Every structure is written in structure tokens, then in C-alpha cells.
Amino acid sequence: EAGVTQSPTHLIKTRGQQATLRCSPISGHTSVYWYQQALGLGLQFLLWYDEGEERNRGNFPPRFSGRQFPNYSSELNVNALELEDSALYLCASSLEFWGPTGELFFGEGSRLTVL
Amino acid sequence: KQEVTQIPAALSVPEGENLVLNCSFTDSAIYNLQWFRQDPGKGLTSLLLIQSSQREQTSGRLNASLDKSSGRSTLYIAASQPGDSATYLCAVRFLKNTGTASKLTFGTGTRLQVTL
């Protein structure tokens, strides 16, 4: 069974550009989560989607946005890129929003470098 | 504010040693607690999940305990090996006032090095 897959693996952009990151959850999982891990910092929660709805949002500016598609895959968009947006962006999925396990499974991440 | 703390930030032990990693959280109203492993530049690998109603979980050489009343969890690694070298992250899903689960809140991790 395939795990959480993320693309692209690496992305290099310049300041002011837009970046789009994609995530495919484990088959059957309906919840998708996005986290940012900047160098030397901990994991910061970005967004949580379930059944196409945004369930929670972290303390990030509005230029960080996303969506979840009917097949439960998700997209994270970062507009007007800044140097400090350089980070590893991790996507995770879980079986359901509120269920018996709630265990999260992570992908390998997309490394975004802003020059 | 609901927070997760891990001490120590880094740990170096010789191969074969048993070790304990600590995780503390500020609110005892939790849904579950999950331990992860992260290799440099990689994603997170789920190691153990402990539900709120459980006291411990075991997988191979790993054992995680949960004490909600004191706001603590420990990850015990038996007979450590160089391949165990990684950063270990503790993450808690707290319960909101509505009774539903919040997002997963991570600690800053413990960087473990097992030397030959």
C-alpha cells in the first residue's frame, strides 16, 4: 500500500513568486495536514483539511492557502514568497477526522528554497 | 496554552545502552499521543501511538508510556543501535472544549546519536 506521497521533492523559487506543493494521502484517508519545518525549528502547523473542508489553520499569513480535492488529495499554495518561507513542507494524512485511532502518517516532504 | 516539551534536546549514548526520552505536555485533556522518528532532511516515521485510555504501547525494542495526570510520556529504547540515531519527536493531540480533537502539537524533539 502506498504511503503519503508529496511532489515536488525539491522546488527552487525566487522572492515574490508563487509555489504550489501537492500531497496524495494514503488510500482511504480523508484528513490531510500540512506542516512547515524551517531549518533548526520545530514543526509548525499550517492547515488541516477533512472531507474537503478546512478544519483548522495555524498562525500563518493569508498568502499560505490550500485546498482539498474530491479525491482527498491536497494542494498548498504559497504566494508572494519570502526568504523565510524556505523550509521542508510536510504533509500527513489520517484515516478520519474523529475516529478510533487518529494516527498520522507523514510523507517525505517537499523542500522549498526561496532565493 | 497547550504546549509539548522534550528534554534533553540532544543525547549521545554508546551502542547497547538502554535509554529514555522524555516528553511533557501542559494539559492532561488529550486525545492521543504519538512518537515519531525523523532522519535528517526526511519525513516523519510513526513509531507508536498511545490513545488517551492507554498507559503504554510496545513495538519491538520500543516502549512508550503515558501518564496523563502528570502530563508526561516516555519513550524507552532497549539495546540501542547506531541505526537508532535520529531525531525523536513527541506529538500530542489535545482535546478541545467541544470534546473534539485538536491538531497535532509537536515537541521540538530529542536528537539521538548512538555511537559504536
Please say if the pLDDT value at position A5 is more than 70. Answer: yes
B49/A101 CB distance under 8 A: yes
Q: Which residue of A has its CA nearest to B41?
A: A88
**Tens digit of each residue's pLDDT (9 = 90 or more) over B42-57:** 899 999 999 999 999 9
- Strand (E) positions, A25-101? 31-37, 43-50, 53-57, 64-68, 74-78, 87-94
Q: What is the mean pLDDT of residues A38-65?
A: 91
Please say if the pLDDT value at position A42 is more than 90. Answer: no
Ranges of chain B with pLDDT below 70:
98-100
Task: Report the C-alpha gap between A20 and A78 in whole angstroms.
Answer: 7
Please say if the pLDDT value at position A98 is more than 60. Answer: no
Neighbours of B36 (CB within 10 A): 26
A55: Cα separation from own chain's centroid? 14
CA distance A107 to chain B (A): 6
Amino acid at the residue B67 = D
Within 13 A of B48's CA, how many CA atoms are on the CB side?
Answer: 22
In percent, the amount of chain A with pLDDT more than 90 equals 80
Strand partners, B62: B59, B77
**Tens digit of each residue's pLDDT (9 = 90 or more) over B7-22:** 999 999 999 999 999 9
pLDDT at residue A100, rounded to an integer: 52
Q: Which residue of B has its CA nearest to A47?
A: B103
Q: What is the mean pLDDT of residues A78-100?
A: 87
Please say if the pLDDT value at position A97 is more than 60. Answer: no
What the block records as the C-alpha cell of A7 is 511532489
Task: Report the C-alpha gap between B57 and B78 in whole angstroms.
Answer: 14
pLDDT at residue B99, rounded to an integer: 67
Q: Which of B4, B30, B104 to mutate to test the interface with A (most CBs of A within 10 A)?
A: B104
Mean of all residue pLDDT scores within chain A: 92
Q: Which of A5, A7, A43, A103 to mutate to test the interface with B (most CBs of B within 10 A)?
A: A43
Q: What is the mean pLDDT of residues A13-42?
A: 94
In percent, the amount of chain A with pLDDT more than 70 equals 94
Q: Are A29 and A72 within 8 A, CB to CB?
A: yes
pLDDT at residue A86, rounded to an integer: 97
